[in-house]
Structure 1
Amino acid sequence: MTHSTLFINKAACLSYLMSRQTPDGGFCYYRAYGVEESNGKDTYSAVAGLLSLQATIPDLDKLLAWLHRLQNNQGGYASFSMGWFALETLRLLNTEPLQNPDTFLKTEHDRFLSLDWRVRTMEWSSLLLSLSRLSTLMRQREFMPSPEFRCGISILIDFLQGNHGGYGNPVENLLDTYRVAIIVDCLTLKQPAGILEFAQMCSDAVFGFRLVPSGSANSLAVVHAGIGLFHLCGAVMPRERIATIRNYIASCQTMTGGFGRTPGAIATLADTWLALDALQNLPEL
């Protein structure tokens, strides 16, 4: 447990996470509403949250069996998102998938190469999120991307950067900028100039970070992205900003023990993980 987690109700958070485990070993946010359907996102979020609290994972054998069942005999998954959450959760548990996932990674790698990302209807946030996850998996699995892939990513990054150094469409925003920073770090590309300056423009004295420099939108995901950007850029966060972020995160904890995306919002497993991971990566005062 880090010093930062002393600012939240750790026992209540732990109870919330464990209460969302289903009989098959996975986790489901909707379990509180009578739905017993484990899913990858909630399972990853719960496992990552429990580990950040240094808790023992309950029913580990059932959980591993459920995760292994998500993979087919060829090493693939029903969707890239499912594969991402399954492989990441297994990594957190220091367990290998039953089948080598290299073919799965190669398929997603080649999918990007065949993608016409210059079309006007492209949903940039989804693309950057998928590429940040794919780049992370490739680095962790020591899967070497092709020169064509790296070149395509470099061109995409140059194409998407806005006037203020950030990324996003229709406007530059902190979430998409963080995703680009992850891609650049995983592929060991040259960090685009202006990313840190954009993160500093999104700093906020009340919430810690705003989604866009001139707006007021904020959430745990935005704060998490801001902390991640400072970390990836090797920048020192101002002491007064650290205190602000701690207070904001603590204000997102609900009576259930979990965390909502903003103060007063309903707690979810995904937002609870964002809160715990943000606190874990927040520099000490």
Structure 2
Amino acid sequence: MGGSIMENDTQIWERAQNYVLSRQSADSGFCFYRVWGVEESTAPDTYYAIAVLRFWGMAIPRSTELIRWLQSLQDDQGRYSSLTNASFGVRALSLLAAAPLWDPRPNLLNWATQAAGRNDTVDSETLRDWQCCVQLQRLLAPVAPLPEIMRSGAEAILHNMEAAAGGFGSHPNLIDSGNAWALQRLLGQPYRPRDQSFLHACEDATFGLRLSPDGASTRLEAIFWGLLQMVHLHIAPLYPQAIMAYVRACQPVNGGFGRRAGAIATLEGTFHAVMITAGLSRNPLLQTLTGA
């Protein structure tokens, strides 16, 4: 991590690396709560672990067994138990230079068709799902035209969640806005100038980036999405030291990172902390590992 804003925080990252490695389960997947006696690997935790280990340039332990476990998340019809498992499972395989055993795209198209029929559902979860759907389709077929049902469904959720003054969400915030901005990029849509104003309005001398312009709190996920957008727009944050002070405050004694100061550590929180440092140092691995 030479050249990054945390290059002198060697012990912080050594502790984080030990935390991530300690969360690998017997099946070779990863699970943030396995130390509580539960061996239950999940696709999101496994993706987060692989991404940060790749960022640190570390070998992925038991990678052959890990690939087999990730491939086992799909049935012989190409189906996954959820869109979340499909998205994180396929992305994790991609980071390992592997692929699912069956093409997930027919079932991904089926999900989009069903979701488009519920286009009156407008909330954060639906926005995240559409972002995952389009991102996965682009990963699986990067040069093929996006199926029209996916494009129209994604455009509809963006339209329904956009705020006239900038940002996205029923109460505009950096997390919903970050997912929306990532979805806009996947669709090839231009950014809206008012979104840059919204982004600047979230900057804060104490937190670095607040969850929303009128908010009094933040979390690592919000900082991650805000900083990712700044990287895409070639904007330098006003308060990088405040951002890193908040990141440090989110690391408990076990070495991982929680979503906010005082929260339990998770692999997701650790991923966000590592990607925030990548954004601050403009490390090109940020976009490779997030795909956003």
Structure 1 position 168, deviation (Å):
0.6
Query: Alpha-carbon deviation of 1:246?
Result: 1.9
Q: Distance in 1 between matches of 2:119 and 2:208?
A: 36
Structure 2 counterpart of 1:264, one-letter code: G
Question: For 1:250 and 1:71, how far apart are their aligned partners in 2?
Answer: 37
Q: Does 1:27 align with 2:26?
A: no
Asked whether the 8 Å contact 2:30–2:49 carries over to 1, the reply is: yes
For the residue of structure 1 that corresponds to 2:48, the secondary structure is helix
Structure 1 position 65 matched with structure 2 position 68:
yes
TM-score w.r.t. length of structure 1? 0.91
In structure 2, how many angstroms separate the alpha carbons of the residues matched to 1:29 and 1:149? 32
SS at match of 1:29: coil
For 1:81 and 1:176, locate their aligned partners in 2 and report how far apart those are by CA, in whole Å. 17
Q: Work out whether residues 7 and 246 of structure 1, in 8 Å CA contact, stay in contact via their aligned partners in 2.
A: no
CA distance in 1, matches of 2:245, 2:108: 40
TM-score by length of structure 2 reads: 0.89
Query: Pairwise mapping of residues 165-176 of structure 1 onto structure 2 (< 5 A)?
Result: 165-169=166-170, 171-176=171-176
| Alpha-carbon displacement from aligned partner over 1:2-44 (angstroms, at most 9, x marks no partner) | 4334254121111110111111101111111111111112111
How far apart are 1:108 and its partner, in Å? 2.3
What amino acid does structure 2 have at the position aligned with 1:235? Answer: H
How big is the alpha-carbon RMSD for the aligned residues of Structure 1 and Structure 2?
1.7
Would you say the 8 A contact 1:10–1:53 is kept in 2? Answer: no
**Contact between 1:252 and 1:261, CA under 8 Å: does it hold in 2?**
yes
Is the 8 Å Cα contact of residues 201 and 213 (structure 2) preserved in structure 1?
yes
AA aligned opposite 2:281: P
Say if 1:242 and 1:283, in contact at 8 Å, map to a contact too. no
Quick one: structure 1 residues 79 and 155, their matched pair in 2 at CA, closer, same or farther if it must change by over 3 Å?
A: closer
Tell me whether 1:266 sits opposite 2:269 in the alignment. Answer: no
Give distance in 2, aligned partners of 1:78 and 1:173: 30
Which consecutive unaligned segments of at least 5 residues does structure 2 have? 283-292
Instruction: Please state if 1:83 is matched with 2:86.
Output: yes
Identical-residue share of aligned pairs (%): 31
How many residues in Structure 1 have an aligned counterpart in Structure 2? 277
Gaps in structure 1 of 5+ consecutive residues: none
| Partner-residue secondary structure (3-state), 1:82 | helix
Q: Distance in 2 between matches of 1:262 and 1:204?
A: 16
**Kept in 1: contact 2:112–2:153 (CA 8 A):** no
Q: Does 1:115 align with 2:118?
A: yes
> Aligned pair in 2 of structure 1 residues 84, 16: CA closer, same or farther (>3 Å)?
same
Quote the residue 1:137 is aligned against: 136
1:192 CA drift (Å): 3.1
Deviation (angstroms), 1:255: 1.3
Is the aligned partner of 1:229 residue 2:233? no
Paired position in structure 2 for 1:150: 151
Contact kept, 8 Å, 1:29 with 1:269, in 2: the verdict is yes
2:148, 2:92 → 1: CA distance? Answer: 29
